[in-house]
Amino acid sequence: MSMEATRYDDGSISYPGHPRGRGGAEPVGTIDLSEYTGEVVTWTTSTATPPGVREPNTLAIVEFEIKGESVRALGQVTTDDVETGDEVEPVYVDELREPGAGIREPESQDWDGYRFQPV
């Protein structure tokens, strides 16, 4: 599984991707952000999380520099020991939340994806 960002014909990159980039730019390809490391721009720890999401839940905005362009992504961090400026890498996890928690059908809550792990 990839952490797919979209590159546009004006050179910009978006995560997640959109049908149009800034100023109406057309998508021209994708970039797998899981192949890169990024830098923590800011982070926070939530202690009041939705059902099935770990508590406390540390989240970070991470900036990736790719060929002169930057793109930011928001995601969970694998540890509570993170600081602004830390270098992190995306790591795939099978479950971002416990699907059986809460009142919705568990199948609709089965989310996999990426967390950021300090390098």
Q: Would you state the pLDDT for residue 54? A: 82
**Structure confidence by residue, pLDDT tens digits, 96-111:** 777 777 777 777 767 7
Total domains in the fold of the chain: 1
Q: Which two tokens stand for residue 109?
A: 């809550």
Q: How many CA atoms lie within 13 A of 97 on its CB side?
A: 18
Domain-embedded: residue 73: yes
The whole-angstrom separation of Cα 2 and Cα 21 is: 20
Q: What is the mean pLDDT of each run of 10 residues along the chain (119 residues)?
A: 94 95 94 98 93 88 96 96 97 84 72 93
Task: Say if 90 falls within a structural domain.
Answer: yes
CB 82 within 8 A of CB 61: no
Distance CA 33, CA 23 (A): 23
CA distances from residue 84 to 12, 59, 95, 118 in whole angstroms, order as listed? 24, 12, 26, 11
Domain extent at residue 45: 37-118
In a domain, 94, yes or no: yes
